Amino acid sequence: MSQTMARSRKNYYKYIPIPYEYHSTIFDINYEKLKKLGFTTILFDYDFTLAPWKQQIDERTVNLFNKLIDMGFKIAVVSNGPEKRINNVKEKTNGKVKIYWKMKKPLSKKLKKVLKDTNSTPEKTVLIGDLFFTDILVGNKNNLYTILVNPYTYEIDAFYKKTVALISKITYFIFFYTLGWFFRVMDLAVPNEFVDSVFDIDYEKLKNNGYKLLIFDFDNTLTTWRTEKLPNKVLELFENLSKDFKIMIASNGKEYRFDSVKKQLKKYDIKVMGYSLKPFAFRIKKRIKEFGIKSSHIALIGDQLFTDIIAGNKSGFYTIKVNPISKKERVFTKFLRLLEKISIKTMREKPKF
């Protein structure tokens, strides 16, 4: 399953309002990770994204804008509302944040003009909004990286404004748990990169981009299924990598299987974790706390989309899919391989360095 094959698939997500990421507020987004992935422009919706409906942005939002500008991002607000409603953004940021009004989202015509005006390209632009059928849909149609946030509900006093925000939330969740759940699960299984094996990964690139912890799956990623020792070439790889990275192995296999592996890796101070329960992310998240490393500085490498990659994406890691070393696997894993083939034909690409 090569990277070329992954790129040849058709992007059905251009027509489906599923975001790449979902967060509670604009303040919960990992902008450092977006910077690492090469994004240069961030477009924000206004109403219920930056401020309650028909209200002005607060000092916290202004501070966020200043931080993003200092990071090197170009920032703009793209609203379906009138100019007078969003003009306070221009005033409070001294014109550093451009504003665009009456955008007619989800229509694309005006968004394309914004990209041209800001000298931005779709593949380097992020669109953040609260409505999946306007903001997310127009972003996906134009190949932008889309992020959905909860409608702005705190500090809203007016009952009707809270009602509008609540309706927006309910509409999204109805979509998410009916038609949308399938596409969301498929999207969570998309890695940032496809490579042939752990020996083909550009570790120097990961190092230069600030990655400090590498998490490897075990079976069919580092060695064949049910093997209880690592081959010498993997030990040599780990010896080299341990000079620049912290390393952890996270497997769904039972703990007792890794007694011999732990002895092999003891001198490299490499942690080995069995029973990690992938695709659930909670055990891995709990374990990595001992490293004290942010998720934006962690990469996860594995051979399975629906266990390794989903767990990595849910944790906010940079994810890399390798080909399985052998075809010897449990029956359930072989069933998942069939789903992987379907997923690869429909999935959209995730950004990479």
CA dist 197 and 329 (Å) reads 17
Same domain, 174 and 25: yes
Domain co-membership, 41 together with 178: yes
340 and 209 in a single domain? The answer is yes
In the chain, % helix, strand, coil (3-state, to 5) comes to: 45, 15, 40
168 and 266 part of one domain = no
For residues 344 and 1, the answer to whether their CB atoms sit within 8 Å is yes
Do the domain assignments include residue 299? yes
- Same domain as 131, residue 202: no
Residues 202 and 178 placed together within one structural domain of the fold: no
Question: 132 Cβ partners below 8 Å, 6+ apart?
Answer: 17, 18, 19, 148, 171, 172, 175
Q: Are residues 29 and 156 in the same domain?
A: yes
Where is the domain boundary, 128, 154, 188? Answer: 188
**Residue after which a domain boundary falls, among 173, 188, 203:** 188
For residue 15, what are its two tokens? Answer: 């027509």
Within a domain: residue 351? no
Number of independent structural domains in the chain: 2
Residue 353 lies in a domain: no
Asked whether residue 177 is domain-assigned, the answer is yes
**352 part of a folded domain:** no
Domain coverage including residue 318? 193-346
Digitized pLDDT (tens) for each residue of the chain, 353 residues in all? 444 344 444 566 677 788 999 898 999 999 999 999 999 999 999 998 999 888 899 999 999 999 999 999 999 999 999 999 999 999 999 999 999 999 999 999 999 999 999 999 999 999 999 988 899 999 999 999 999 998 876 666 667 667 766 777 787 778 777 777 777 788 889 999 999 999 999 999 999 999 999 999 999 999 998 888 999 999 999 999 999 999 999 999 999 999 999 999 988 999 999 999 999 999 999 999 999 999 999 999 999 999 999 999 999 999 999 999 988 887 888 888 888 887 777 778 888 87
Going across the sheet that includes 98-100, the strands are 21-23, 145-149, 125-129, 41-44, 74-78, 98-100
Q: Are residues 139 and 125 in the same domain?
A: yes
Q: How far apart are CA 66 and CA 94, in angstroms?
A: 11
Q: Are residues 89 and 110 in the same domain?
A: yes
CATH number at residue 89: 3.40.50.1000
As given in the structure block, the two tokens for residue 8 are: 């040849």
Shared domain check, 131 and 231: no
Q: Which of 132, 158, 188 is the last residue of a domain?
A: 188
